Each structure stands twice: as C-alpha cells, then as structure tokens.
Amino acid sequence: MGSNQRRSVSPWISGCLAATVCGIAWATTATSTSEDTGLEEITVTAERFNSTIQNTPISISALSGDQLAAAGLTRLEDIAHEIPGLSMRNAGPGLTEYDARGLASNGGAAPTVGFYLDEIPLSPPALSQSGKVVIDPDLYDIERVEVLRGPQGTLYGSGSMGGTIKVITNQPKLGVFEGSVQGTGSYTDGGGGNYGGNLMLNLPLGDKLAVRLVLSDLYRSGWIDNITVSPFPVNLASPVQGNVLAAPVTNVFHHANDEQLSGVRLSLLYKPSDDLSILATAFEQSLHLGGYDLLDGSPNSADPSRVYKAHYEAFPLREGVRDNITIFGVTVNANLGFADLTSATSYFSRLGVQTQDASESIYYSNRINTNGVFTPGAPFVSVPYSERDPSHQFSQEIRLTSHDSGGLHWVGGVFYSELHSVWNEIGESPLSATPAVPDGSYFISWNPYTVKQTALFADGSYKITDHLKLSAGVRWYTYKSEQDEFSWGLDGPNLTPPATSLVTTDSDRGFNPRINLSYAPTEDLTTYATVSKGFRPGGANQILPTPFCTPGDLKFGPDAAWNYEIGEKAKLFDNWLTINSDVYYIKWTGIQQVLTLPCGYQFYTNAGDGRSFGPELEINAKLSSDWSASLSGAWTDSKITNPNAKYTDFLTNIATSPDGVTHPCNTGSSCQPPIMNVTKDTASLSVTYSTTVMSDYKLSARVADQFVGSSHDVAYYFNYILPSYNLVNARVGLAHDAWSADLFVDNLTNKVALMTANNTSFQFNIPQVVRYTTNQPRTVGVQVNYKF
C-alpha cells in the first residue's frame, strides 16, 4: 500500500471515534423490534472473576472459540491482526514476539506483553536473540482468547506493562461424552500441499471425574528456497554483497521453510462437590521448521528496494528451528463461604534450537581489521552457527476472590515464580584454529540466567451508587536476576574457556498501583477512566569482545510505564451494535532498548524516557438476521522523547540506510526517535453472512481485510522503514447437523508483506545482508469438521 493510502488511515480512525460519540448518545434510547437475538456476549475473567466484555471497565478484546473457528483463526499470529493496539514481530511459527500500545519488547530480558495459558504464566527465554518469543499453540478446542491492553501490573505482574494475552482452553465436562474431529487440506502458491488434523475427546469417569484429550498435527509446506551459489559473489573493494542472481547455482533446498507441529493436551477434572474442584493439565508440543520465513534483501545493490524470493548461501546449510514445550499445571478452586480460594501451580520447560549459515558473516568479519579497513583474507568456509535456549519455570499463585456483597468485590493473593534460562551459542570455524584458540572456537557461550520474583497483590471495587463504581489495586513486587557468563572464542571476550564465570546480578522492589472510576448511566453504556502502572525487571548484558566492540554497562535497570486512559463501551439497538473505544497516554521511563552495534553484536541499555499515545476502536454490528460486520482500528504514536546521552551518541552515529532513509537523530534536528518495531496504524474490517438454505443447512461466508501500517526497524547499523500492507482472507462454509465444511482462501491478493527486518540476526547482522520476515502466499484449502 502506498504512502497516500497509509496517511488516510489515521483520519479514518478519528472519524470513527467521532461517530462513537454519536453512538453513545443513541445508547439510552435505541431499541430494536426484531425478535432475533443480538450479538454474542463473551464471558471474560480479566479481573479474576467472571464478567462480560461490555461490563468490564478496562480496554479488553476477546474472541470466543466459536468465533475463532468461524473465522478460521488457528494461530495466535492470525489474531494479532484482528485486535487493535496489538502488534508482533516474528521470523516464523514459534518465533513471535508481541507488543501492545507502542511498548516494544525488543530490549531487555523480559517481554512487555504477558502471556498466559489458562492460569499458567509462560515467560519467554531471557536471552534468546530471537526476542521475547512466546509459544505458538494450535488454537483448537479453545474457549476464548482475551487480550488486555495497557499495564496489567496489579493482577498479572512484571512483563505485562503493555498488556496481557490469555488463552483459555475448554475444561473437561462431567457426565458428558463428546468429541470432535477436524481435517484441513490446502495448497500454497509457490509452495505445495499442507494438511492439519485435530481430535478432541471428553470422557466422563463416573460422576466426579472427567478427562479431556486434544491431539493436533499440522504440516505447512514452505515457499522459500535456500539457494547455494558458488563461487559466492563478493566485492573486494568494499564490504558489499555481490550479484547473487548472476552466480552459478550449485544446490537448491526447495520450500525450505516448511513446518511440522504436533501437540497433545490432557486435562483431568476432579469435582467431589460444588464447592471444590481440582484441574490437572499436561501439554506437550513439538514444532520443527526447515528454515525461517525470511527473504533476502539487497541493501547495497543498484536497486536497494529489491527483495529476492529466496535465501542465498555460500554452502548448502539448512537453517532449521526446533521448539519443544512441556507444561504441567494444577489448579484448585474451593468455596470457603466468604470467598473463593484459587491455587495455581505450574511448571513448564522449553527448548529452542536454531541454526544459521555464518559463512558470509564470518568471511566479512575476517576481512575487517581493527581500523575498519576492508582487506582480502581467507576464502569462504562452511560455518553452521547454532543457538540453544533451554529454559524452565516454576510458578505458584494463591488468591482469594470475594463473593459479591453490598457492592464490594475484592481479590487478593501472593505470587512467586522462578525462571531459569540458558543462552548457549556455538560457532566453530576452521579459520579460528590458532595456537591462541586451540579448540577452533569462533564464539561459544554458556550463559545461565535466573529471575526470581515474589509479589503480594490486592485489587477491589466498590459500587458507590447504582451507576458509579470505584476500583483500585496495588501489587508489591521484588525480583532478583543473575547471569553467569562463560564465553570464549576468536570473536569472544576470552580466547579460551574462562576459569570462572562472570556473575552479574540485579534486583529491585516497588509497587504497581491501579485506580479506575467507571460510570454506567444505563445497562447499555459504561464509561471509565483508568490510571495504572506496569514494570519490567532489569537484567544483564553479555561481555562484548574488544577492540571491535565498545564495551558498555553489564547491567541495565528496570523500566516502567504509567498509563492514563479514558474509554467507553456502548450497546445499541438491543445489543445489535456495540461500540468500544478508548484514548490513552503512556509515560515510559527508563526504556529498555536494544542497540545493534557495527561489530555485529546486540547490547541492551536504558535509552531514556518516552511516551506513547493514541485511540483504539472496536465496532461490532449485526446488520440483519443474516449479515454482521466488525471494524477495529488503532493509531499509535510512540517515541523516545528524552533520550539519554548514551543512546543519543549511538543514534547520531547511525548511517543513512542504503534505501535512502536517514535516521531522525542524524539530521541535525531535535532527537526524538520512534520506538523500533511499533506499527503506526492498524485497521481490520470483516463482513459475515449466514443464512439457512435447503430447509436445514446453514450457509456462511466471511471476508476480512486487515491493514498494517508502516514501522521502523534496524538491520545491521541502518534504519529501515517497513512499508504498510493489506491482507485479505475469504471463507465460505456449509453446515448440517454435526457436519460442516469450509472452503477458504488466505491472502487472497497474494500480497508479499515485509513484516520485520533481521529479528533473528545472531549470525547475519552484517551490512551485506538484510532479511525480511514475510507472510504465507495465497493459500487455498478445504476444512471439514465433525462433532459427536
């Protein structure tokens, strides 16, 4: 999408917000004469007790399991385009990092958006160079997905200062035998055939026990080729990549970024009485990628905007990715009379493994001397570079939730978690074997990282009148992080394994408050104002090698966000129309930011203070008994308004990127750089048709158009602006009794979107290469469902 269309989105959102004001005025008088029901009311537990979206006075979006199935949304990445204010950066399944309201997660050792599977908090690896990536579960047999926007530090703790994503699964049902099966087959342009299968069984075991089993298996054909050319073209006069398109091809891995996912989820419910239930859950998933969803760019060619439809290598090396996850949880709910007691205990382990082709980056690194002069050196050699990120976490939360009494409702509890994460990078090059480096290590690390957190929290609400409610809460937290670093090699801080590790610790404690005032003049209108705070722990950096890198502080401090927000939720025409909107302003202090250094390493620092603000809008309408539509949008302005001296020095040294984009801090003007990886504006529109044909068959159709605006990103040492794009999906289905079948087309216009740049760059952070995450090409398929 061009710049003119991109500029039109923000006024469009502003116009929708203006229409919202008019809609609120209708809310107290509008009625409907139709006997048909209105929009579906979705129950949520964002405030740790059951409510509905329209009755919950915070910024929240939710999609029920039925809505997910009807829209064909099977992965969390699909949902990100449907939710205002939520964005992501990824390099493929299992490699996705989420941001909300302009609070990017690209710095530090913790995310800015929390992630929960039922009652289980799932922290990403602390040091992975792929970012704060969350698990990527198949969304089959899901009750709903909730997305809370804004700091959720009171109830959800650290790592939730931008928001929280909650995936709530369907629990076992007592006394009911039921099941469902789903089969999917499709074909991807430029790739091949895809398939998927899911099975759910709910088995009663007497009157007090039930078990629910979900099995998933998925295969996605790749569409990106890994092409080996030899001799690999280079330019000895300067560090630029040669013309790979003209080089002789010696090997091709077709459809290299294929995916295989298999998973099992087992839940056991024991309910001896109405006042006591025990839910035990086990989840295991294995995900394998043959390669990243990355296309090569050509940053230094005569046509710098060129993006190849492949990845070019000097040697036939597969860039495989593996993500294995095991989760166990036990949740106890007991009615104590005056309150409900919930105990949530969980343990999860995760192993992520990636391999990248380092031959090109090491070739150029060996040719740059200490003065930065590019000189001839040794030839290309085959160097597979691997990163392993094993992690495991134990967490325990105990809370009490009151029964509604006299307009007072409260929640209070204690939380503890302990995350152990290891960053293990292995790179060995034949060029590294010297007397000073006898084991031939180019760079090897074994860096254990531990984060322990404890918190006490309380949150409550009181109805001052029938229409006015005051809510407030606070969370006291303390954390301690520790990194033990073992790093060595020709490109490391030590040439040989160090005798002892370098230990870096950080700790802090504080309070996260929240206050919310809501006013509901009628059952169909709720207005609210919120002030809340979120935080993210500080942490430790790796040791940088000298003289190629300039060493920085080994520690970076925590950052925090204060959120100021007003919003409304309106139901009109007997709930045939809902309009939910808000406007927020966030003050972000001590921003954790990643610096991509000229030597190829990444370094975390506190960059200064900043802010983010913008409107968010969701409109759902039932236009008739057959037609419905949904519209959502957000506009986000996120900047570092007061960069500190260290970050300013870094920014003013950033060169103009090869595509001609000069960084704002290198123009002589005031330096207020945008936050990296924040999408400026987003919008989503879907239209659904559903009717009865042939007496008792249900015909349905859905078309969705999702717009994602431009954003800033960094590849090597250059500033890039990623262009905006539109994605269109269409679906038509026929259902009868327990059967349904759907024909779908994803990415109808076959758009090639450039979503991120170099976000898994632990071995291609060099000026010769920029690799863009891209989306799946047009995919046509059929899905069949059967329930019994």
Cα gap 310→222, rounded to integer Å: 11
Structure tokens at 526: 């709720």
Residue type, 542: Q
Question: pLDDT by residue (tens digit) across 577-588?
Answer: 999 999 999 999
Cα gap 421→434, rounded to integer Å: 32
Q: Which of 15-29, 198-212, 244-258 has the lowest mean pLDDT?
A: 15-29
Question: pLDDT by residue (tens digit) across 578-631?
Answer: 999 999 999 999 999 887 776 777 788 898 999 999 999 999 999 999 999 999
Q: Which residue has the higher pLDDT, 701 or 677?
A: 701
Question: pLDDT by residue (tens digit) across 509-544?
Answer: 999 999 999 999 999 999 999 999 999 999 888 887
Structure tokens at 178: 């039921």
Question: pLDDT by residue (tens digit) across 344-359?
Answer: 999 999 999 999 988 8
Strands 193-205 and 408-428: unpaired
Question: pLDDT by residue (tens digit) across 185-230?
Answer: 999 999 999 999 999 999 999 999 999 999 999 999 999 999 999 9
Are 697 and 577 within 8 A, CB to CB?
A: no
- Under the banding of pLDDT at 50, 70 and 90, the label for residue 665 is low
What pLDDT is stored for residue 237 in this prediction? 58
What pLDDT is stored for residue 377 in this prediction? 58
Structure tokens at 751: 């758009």
Closest CA to 441 of 494, 371, 485, 378: 494
* φ/ψ of residue 7, rounded to 5: -70, -25
Of the spans 132-136, 440-444, 754-758, 783-787, which averages the highest pLDDT?
783-787
- Kindly report the number of other CB atoms within 10 A of residue 745's CB atom: 18
Q: What percent of the chain has pLDDT over 90?
A: 62
- Under the banding of pLDDT at 50, 70 and 90, the label for residue 30 is very low
pLDDT at 81 over 90: no
Kindly state the DSSP code that residue 33 receives in the 8-state scheme.
Answer: -
Q: Which residue has the higher pLDDT, 758 or 122?
A: 122
Closest CA to 277 of 422, 144, 142, 174: 174
Cα gap 452→107, rounded to integer Å: 19
- Under the banding of pLDDT at 50, 70 and 90, the label for residue 547 is low
- Under the banding of pLDDT at 50, 70 and 90, the label for residue 157 is confident
Half-sphere exposure of 721 (CA within 13 A, CB side): 16
Structure tokens at 614: 């913008």
Residues in the chain: 788
Residue 186, domain extent: 3-787
DSSP letters along 139-162, please? -SSEEEEEEEES--HHHH-TT-SS
Question: What's the pTM value of the predicted model, to 2 decimals?
Answer: 0.91
Element housing 650 (H / E): helix 645-652
- Burial class for 405, CB neighbours closer than 10 Å (0-12, 13-18, 19+): exposed
pLDDT at 750 over 50: yes
- Under the banding of pLDDT at 50, 70 and 90, the label for residue 31 is very low
Question: pLDDT by residue (tens digit) across 433-454?
Answer: 788 888 888 889 999 999 999 9
What pLDDT is stored for residue 27 in this prediction? 37
Residue reference for tokens 């089959």: 140
Cα gap 171→211, rounded to integer Å: 9
Are 613 and 584 within 8 A, CB to CB?
A: yes
Question: pLDDT by residue (tens digit) across 356-404?
Answer: 988 888 887 766 544 445 555 567 888 899 999 999 999 999 999 998 7
Question: Considering its fold, how many domains does the chain have in total?
Answer: 1
Cα gap 533→161, rounded to integer Å: 7
Write the CATH number for 78.
2.40.170.20
Structure tokens at 756: 């991120």
